[in-house]
Chains A and B, each alone.
Chain A
Amino acid sequence: MTNDSFPSGVRSRPISSQFLILKTTALFVLWILLSASFDWIHLGLGLVLSFTVAWVNSGHSPFVPKFRLWGNILFYLPWLFVKIVQSSLHVSKLILHPSLPIDPRLINVETNLGHHGAVVLLGNSITLTPGTITAEVDRNTLIVHALDEVSEQDVTSKSIESKIAAMFKDEEPDL
């Protein structure tokens, strides 16, 4: 299966066997979780089906994180969770305050991350944190809607970005 059918502007990577194996494994785990039966028939059928689905859908394989990066992301999640709890409490305080002291604004955030995966992770983290939401992404520029001054400082202080940049420093930039 070649990628000739893509228009010339769209960059697409060739099918990597690594990505195929990863996708098959993920689908197979989902199959086991949903079927919860361990007969040979069910397991074999699941394996065949998940491989087929992964093969058919492997037109443009996205970036596959290395094993090291997976570990980093796993350690990043608890830190993000603490961040989420902090800003949730702040937003709850704002909403329950009788006079509703919000001051919404749109801010432009320039990042130095030169990597697709890193920008996606950054945008998702910003959206997942209450009080800030990513409204538009264009390569390295993010437009973020923030609920008030404190939420804005969450993004402009670049604490999330520096964390992600440290995780992705070994990857070669592709943006």
Chain B
Amino acid sequence: MEVMSIICILAGLFFLIVAAIGVIRLPDVFSRSHAVSLTDSLGAFLVLVGVALHEGLSPSMLKIIAVLALLYIQNPVIAHATVRAALRAGLKPWKKEAS
């Protein structure tokens, strides 16, 4: 169980690092939001599952699952709200130059 939780946390950290690199490297708001949603949907999931596996069956595991459900419900809403605000404010998405 311990090994499983360590593997889960490491895999989650990989996605978190990739997302952080993406947030720095990608060119504009719209593409950066993809990187952020990458973190939110898979990195956080794997880290939290790792912690829940470490805890075993207990009330705190249920609470962690509740936090996870909360993240999964709210993160798309926040990402959508931000991107919609950006689009309505008249930002143009970055385009690859025709080469």
Residues of chain A having any CB pair with chain B under 8 Å: 30, 33-34, 36, 84-85, 88, 91-92, 95-96, 100, 102-106, 123-124, 127-136, 143, 145, 147
Contact = CB atoms under 8 A, between A and B. Distances in A.
A88 B42 contact: yes
A104 B30 contact: yes
Query: 5 nearest interchain CB pairs?
Result: A127-B76, A95-B22, A130-B38, A124-B76, A88-B42
A36 B59 contact: yes
Contacts of B31: 102, 104, 147
Given A92-B15, A145-B30, A135 B87 contact: yes
Given A95-B22, A95-B35, A145-B93, A127 B42 contact: no
Contacts of A128: 37, 41, 72, 75-76
A34 B35 CA distance: 32
Chain B interface size band reads 35 or more
A23 to B, nearest CB: 15
Contacts of A147: 31, 34
Contacts of A33: 59, 62-63, 66
Nearest to B70: A30
A66 B96 CA distance: 46
Contacts of B76: 123-124, 127-128
Contact of A104 (B41, B42, B72, B95): B95
B18 A135 contact: no
14 contacts: A33-B66, A36-B59, A84-B42, A95-B18, A95-B19, A95-B25, A95-B26, A100-B26, A104-B95, A124-B76, A130-B37, A130-B38, A130-B42, A131-B34
